[in-house]
Structure formats: structure tokens, C-alpha cells
């Protein structure tokens, strides 16, 4: 998924605003005072946050500062650090132990968000080495396609952003020092994709609108200057790319152990270190391979009658290769995804796994060009300020692939695997979870939620569906599910191994293709992804392992009283909180800060 802002703040229903009698214990009065002080802090913090980060706000439908394009100068970073220091000071004045448990989570989420911003500016410093961070297209796309404000209001905001685009890219170029080759190449592709949004259609829309003649003239002038600035940025990036390739002096994309562990703590919030999660993944990898071998024993004679079963993982790979030949046609990939969504929705409703809101539309679309280059499928969900907006399931068509690349990709997302993908991305995975997140009474949890919970839920949803009987317990589907689950596990192994243990590309491909049975196109795509991102690949396994283990513990504790639908809906009701905090709330335990 692209960077998603999940929303957080507590409703007044949770606040308890009673008057105090003379006999009321002083401690209770003090506690209530802290609760009210924290509520006031949240009510002030969220508007201040959107004023500080207006583009981020657009992704959750907050349009009050829609025209404010942040120019990424040194002064802007200093302003960000001052913002962090101010609100850290305000948080420190609140006694977290005096807050109710849901508010303690909000406190910790705000604290984590502030700490993450500081870490990014002062230690990670990706603003220096990642040119792909600089792209005006995302915010403009949110305005062009959003429904959270009238068209003319959105066009005025776009005009303001276009006018600031030349200064934006000038500042970006001054920031970039010793970049990685991989992020420079990504920046070229994604900035070229900006023209899929900032194009003649956008200009025509402005000209045919009810803007005044002066506003239309201003829009057109800003539009042409912005296009020229983007073109100049692309030219500069291409020259930089050539220089990096010729000189061979590009920065490594690998983070190293210190930065990786720090980023992991901020991003995952699991209570484990990255190394501890890596070791758990190694153990689970062995267990899943054992189960895949059991299923292969069961299916071998059906697909290879009269042939001796190849020993170990070689037999598993041969069976997977056989099954992978069943896939959709190249030009029917996006349509096949669209066709499966109603089937998944019907199964969830029929088996009472989760309540799905029929008023929250899911739209399958081809991935916009400015978003391409990292993931083949993703969800773009409306934020809590734009709850009526569409959720988009972005599916990248295979047009840009050679025949061999497309065939490899389709074998990876074969008849069975495509179903698991759609469960993960759509129903009851990301789409369903993010709808629930937007309904959370805590705006903080919806805005600043935890990526491991979001990804972990989607992975958990895959297994939950199969356990409920989706696919009629077809062993072929289970085998492909385990292959997919092995991908989740190996994502963690790969990410840690590459960024901390310096795993080479050849060894990474060997892990993915031979140990995890992935097609070459998928494996090479994952190598590209691990070279462009850090820690995010671990979020799938980290969240899934916590959610599934917690559910199994609940089943054991409650016995016949356990209700799967009730568990799922209660779990999702806490927004996108870190799983460790949700577990504490559902179990009545004390919230433990990381």
C-alpha cells in the first residue's frame, strides 16, 4: 500500500464529563482533569498537524489547507522539528497513567508519530538520499479525483500547488546529496507518471469550470510553469542517474542494523526487535514447508500419475509449477480481479465473518501511472474526513511487460493465487479493515494507525477465509495459500537479511525462487521493492503472527462461547491501533508502552 494516514481521536462518548462532589476522591478528580486535558490536547493537535502537513492531510480528505504545497527547505525541516518539540512537551505534561486505556493508546500513537518525524529528519535523512520523495503529483491527484470539496474549490487549490511547483523542485534538488541509484531511477519513472495527472485534460477541466476569467488565466499560467518544472526535474534526475551509473559512487540503499532497528521500532510497534521477528520467521518458514510437503504427498498422484514423488521441496516446486499453468489471459487480468470481488463479498456475508457496509463502494481500477513502479496491486482508501469517497483497488495492467515477463507474472498470480491476492487487498482484507478504521470513534487511531496491524489483518483474512471453507477446502488452494503465506514469512527474512545482513541479489533471488517457490518476475520485483523500501515488508508477518496467535488464544480461553464474527468486529473497532494495544484492550490488560 502507499503511505496511508490512518485517523485518530476519541469521541466525547468516551470522555465522562461529570461534575465533582466535595466527597469525591481527590485522585478521581485529578484523573478526570488529566482526561480532559488530553482531550483538549488532541483537539488542538490534529488541526495543527494538518496545518503543518497539508499534503498528508489530503490523503485523508482534509482539505482546509489544500493549496499549501510544503516547499522542502532547511527552514521547513527546522519548522518540523520545532513542531515536534512543542507537542512532545505538551504530551509530557499529561500523566498517561491517569488516562483510560483507549486514550493511553492515542497518547502513545501521537508520541510515536512525533518521534518518527524527528527520526526521519535527524537520523534516517531520506530527504537527502531518496529523490523519489519529491513528487507533486500525489497531492494534485487527490484534489483532482476527490469528492471532499466542490470542483472549483479543488481547482483553486490545484492552481496554488501548481504555482509553487518550480520552487518545490528547486528545493528538492538542493536537498539531494549522495542519493541511491535505485531511488533516483524510481524518481524518474514516477515523475514521468505525474503527466498522467497534470495534463491537458486537467487544464481543459479548469477552462470549462465556473472559475472567473482571471482565475482561469492564473491556472493556465501555473499549469505551464509546473509542467516545465517537472520536465526540468526529470532531465536533472536522468543526468544524475547517468552520473551515478558512470561513477559507481551511489549510496547503498541498505540501512544497516542501527537505523533499521530504530525504524522498525517506530513503524511496527510490536514490542519485538527486528532481529527477534527475523528469528521467528525462520522457524515459521520451516513449519510451512513441512505442511506444503504434506499437501504435495496428497496431490502428487493426481497430477503426476505413475511418476515417483520427487523428494522434499523439489516435489513441492514441481507441483506448484504444474498448477501455475492455470491462469487468466494476459489482457484479462484486471477484468478477472473485478469479477472476483462480488464472489468474495457473498462468501463473507453468507458465512457471517464480518459485517460489510454496502454503502462504501470498492472500485477496481488500473493503477494510476504516477503510482506505478513498486507494487502490482494496492488499495487507496478515503480518509476519515472523506468517508463517502471511493476506495480504489489499484491493479497494474501487464502492458509494459514482455511476453515472458507477463507469463511469469501470471503464473505467480495463477487461478488460486489471484483469489488469495484479492482476499488480501480487498475483501475481507484491506478494503474492509480501512472502512472499519474510518468508523473508529478515535480519530487518532484512524489517522496515525499502525501499518503492521493494517497489513497483518489482510494476511490474517486470507487464512480466516480458507478456514471458513472458502474454496471448499481444495488442497490446491491450500497449497497456494501456503506458498503465499511463505511469501509473507520470507518478506521478513528478506528485508532483514538485505538491510542488516547484506544479503546479495543472487542470494535473495535464491531464497525467493527456490525456498519460497516464487516465479522469477515476482522474485525480481520483490528485490526491487526491498531495494526501494525498508521495514515495510516485515509488517505483514509481524501483524499477522500477533493477530492469529491472539485469536487462537481467545478461542482456547472462551471455548464454545467464542464467536468469530464478534472477535473480528471487536478487533477492527479499535481502528488501526498496534496489535499489542488491541490485545490489551480486548483482554482487559494494562497498556504497556514500548
Length of the chain: 594
Give burial (CB, 10 Å; 0-12/13-18/19+) of 525. Answer: buried
- The residue-averaged pLDDT of 286-296 equals 97
Full residue range of the structural domain in which residue 43 is found: 6-129
Helix runs in 307-363, H state only: 312-323, 333-350
- The Cα 47–Cα 43 span in angstroms is 7
Residue 376 binned pLDDT confidence (cut-offs 50, 70, 90): confident
77 and 165 both lie in a single domain: no
Q: Cell numbers 498496534 correspond to what residue?
A: 578
Choose the final residue of a domain: 213, 231, 247: 247
Instruction: State what percent of residues in the chain have pLDDT above 70.
Output: 94
Domain count, the chain: 2
User: Per the domain annotation, does 191 fall within a domain?
Assistant: yes
- Asked whether residue 172 falls in the same domain as residue 121, the answer is no
320 close to 299: Cβ distance less than 8 angstroms = no
Are both 115 and 171 inside the same structural domain? no
- Per-residue pLDDT tens for 397-409? 888 889 998 998 8
8 A C-beta contact, residue 67 and residue 161: yes
**Separation CA 295–CA 316 (nearest Å):** 9
Cell output for 476: 490446491
Q: Is 276 exposed, middle or buried (0-12, 13-18, 19+ CB in 10 A)?
A: exposed
Cell numbers found for residue 39: 482531550
Q: Clarify whether residues 124 and 156 are in a common domain.
A: no
Distance CA 519, CA 413 (A): 9
Query: Based on the domain organization, do 86 and 193 belong to the same domain?
Result: no
pTM for this predicted structure: 0.85
Placement of cell 559507481 in the chain: 248
Shared-domain flag, residues 99 and 211: no
The pLDDT, as a whole number, for residue 532 is 96
User: For the residues 28-43, what does the mean pLDDT come to?
Assistant: 87
CA Rg value for the chain: 25
In the block, cell 464478534 appears at: 566
pLDDT digits (tens, 9 = 90+) for 513-568: 999 998 888 899 899 999 999 999 999 999 999 999 999 999 999 999 999 999 99
In a domain, 272, yes or no: no
φ, ψ of residue 8 to 5 degrees: the values are: -140, 130
Residue 294 falls inside a structural domain:
no
Q: Find out whether 552 and 460 touch, Cβ atoms under 8 Å.
A: no
- The per-residue pLDDT for 17 is 33
Q: Is the peptide bond before 428 cis (omega within 30 degrees of 0)?
A: yes
Assess if residue 190 is contained within a domain: yes
The 10s digit of each residue's pLDDT in 228-259 is 999 999 999 999 999 999 999 999 999 999 99
Mean pLDDT, the chain, integer: 91
13 and 70, same structural domain?
A: yes
Residue 20, pLDDT above cutoff 60: no
CB 69 within 8 A of CB 134: no
**Region 571-591: what's the mean pLDDT?**
91
Domain match, 48 and 111 both? yes
Amino acid at each position: 500500500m502507499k503511505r496511508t494516514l490512518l485517523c485518530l481521536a476519541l469521541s466525547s462518548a468516551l470522555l465522562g464529563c461529570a461534575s465533582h462532589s466535595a466527597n469525591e476522591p481527590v485522585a478521581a478528580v485529578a484523573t478526570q482533569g488529566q482526561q480532559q486535558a488530553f482531550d483538549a490536547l488532541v483537539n488542538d493537535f490534529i488541526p495543527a498537524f494538518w496545518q503543518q502537513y497539508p499534503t498528508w492531510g489530503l490523503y485523508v480528505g482534509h482539505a482546509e489547507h489544500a493549496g499549501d504545497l510544503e516547499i522542502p527547505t532547511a527552514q521547513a525541516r527546522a519548522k518540523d522539528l520545532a513542531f515536534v518539540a512543542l507537542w512532545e512537551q505538551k504530551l509530557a505534561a499529561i500523566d498517561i497513567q491517569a488516562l483510560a486505556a483507549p486514550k493511553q493508546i492515542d497518547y502513545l500513537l501521537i508520541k510515536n508519530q512525533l518521534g518518527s518525524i524527528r527520526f526521519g529528519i535527524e537520523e534516517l535523512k531520506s530527504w537527502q538520499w531518496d529523490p523519489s520523495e519529491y513528487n507533486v503529483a500525489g497531492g494534485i491527484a487527490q484534489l483532482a479525483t476527490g469528492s471532499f470539496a466542490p470542483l472549483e474549490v479543488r481547482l483553486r487549490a490545484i492552481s496554488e500547488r501548481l504555482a509553487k511547483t518550480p520552487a518545490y523542485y528547486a528545493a528538492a534538488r538542493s536537498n539531494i546529496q549522495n542519493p541511491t541509484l535505485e531511488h533516483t531511477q524510481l524518481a524518474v519513472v514516477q515523475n514521468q507518471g505525474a503527466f498522467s495527472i497534470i495534463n491537458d485534460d486537467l487544464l481543459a477541466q479548469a477552462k470549462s469550470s465556473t472559475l472567473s476569467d482571471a482565475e482561469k488565466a492564473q491556472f493556465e499560467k501555473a499549469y505551464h510553469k509546473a509542467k516545465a518544472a517537472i520536465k526540468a526535474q526529470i532531465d536533472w534526475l536522468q543526468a544524475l542517474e547517468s552520473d551515478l551509473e558512470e561513477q559507481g559512487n551511489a549510496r547503498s540503499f541498505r540501512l544497516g542494523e542501527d537505523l533499521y532497528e530504530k525504524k522498525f521500532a517506530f513503524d511496527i510497534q510490536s514490542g519485538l526487535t527486528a532481529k527477534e521477528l527475523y528469528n521467528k520467521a525462520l522457524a515459521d518458514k520451516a513449519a510451512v514447508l513441512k505442511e506444503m510437503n504434506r499437501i504435495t504427498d496428497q496431490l502428487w498422484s493426481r497430477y503426476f500419475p505413475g511418476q515417483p514423488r520427487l523428494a522434499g521441496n523439489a516435489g513441492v516446486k514441481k507441483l506448484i509449477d504444474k498448477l501455475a499453468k492455470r491462469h487468466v489471459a494476459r489482457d484479462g487480468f484486471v477484468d478477472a480481479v473485478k469479477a472476483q470481488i462480488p464472489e468474495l463479498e457473498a462468501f463473507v456475508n453468507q458465512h457471517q465473518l464480518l459485517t460489510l457496509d454496502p454503502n462504501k463502494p470498492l472500485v477496481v481500477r488500473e493503477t494510476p501511472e504516477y503510482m506505478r513502479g513498486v507494487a502490482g496491486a494496492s488499495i487507496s482508501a478515503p480518509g476519515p474526513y472523506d468517508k463517502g469517497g471511493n476506495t480504489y483497488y489499484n491493479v497494474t495492467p501487464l502492458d509494459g511487460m514482455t511476453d515472458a515477463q507477463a507469463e511469469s507474472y501470471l503464473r505467480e498470480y495463477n487461478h488460486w493465487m489471484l483469489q488469495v491476492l484479492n482476499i488480501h487487498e480487498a475483501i475481507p482484507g484491506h478494503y474492509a479493515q480501512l472502512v472499519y478504521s474510518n468508523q473508529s470513534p478515535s480519530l487518532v487511531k484512524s489517522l496515525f494507525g499502525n501499518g503492521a496491524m493494517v497489513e497483518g489483518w489482510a494476511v490474517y483474512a486470507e487464512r480466516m477465509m480458507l478456514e471458513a471453507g472458502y474454496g471448499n477446502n481444495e488442497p490446491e488452494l491450500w497449497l497456494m495459500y501456503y506458498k503465499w503465506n511463505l511469501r509473507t514469512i520470507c518478506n521478513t527474512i528478506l528485508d532483514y537479511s538485505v538491510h542488516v545482513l547484506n544479503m546479495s541479489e543472487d542470494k535473495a533471488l535464491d531464497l525467493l525462487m527456490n525456498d519460497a517457490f516464487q516465479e522469477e518476475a515476482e522474485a525480481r520485483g520483490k528485490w526491487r521493492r526491498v531495494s526501494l523500501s525498508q521495514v515495510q515488508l516485515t509488517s505483514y508477518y509481524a501483524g499477522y503472527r500477533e493477530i492469529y496467535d491472539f485469536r487462537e488464544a481467545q478461542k482456547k480461553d472462551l471455548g464454545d462461547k467464542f464467536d468469530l464474527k464478534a472477535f473480528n468486529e471487536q478487533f477492527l473497532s479499535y481502528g488501526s491501533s498496534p496489535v499489542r494495544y488491541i490485545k490489551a484492550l480486548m483482554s482487559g490488560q494494562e497498556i504497556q508502552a514500548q
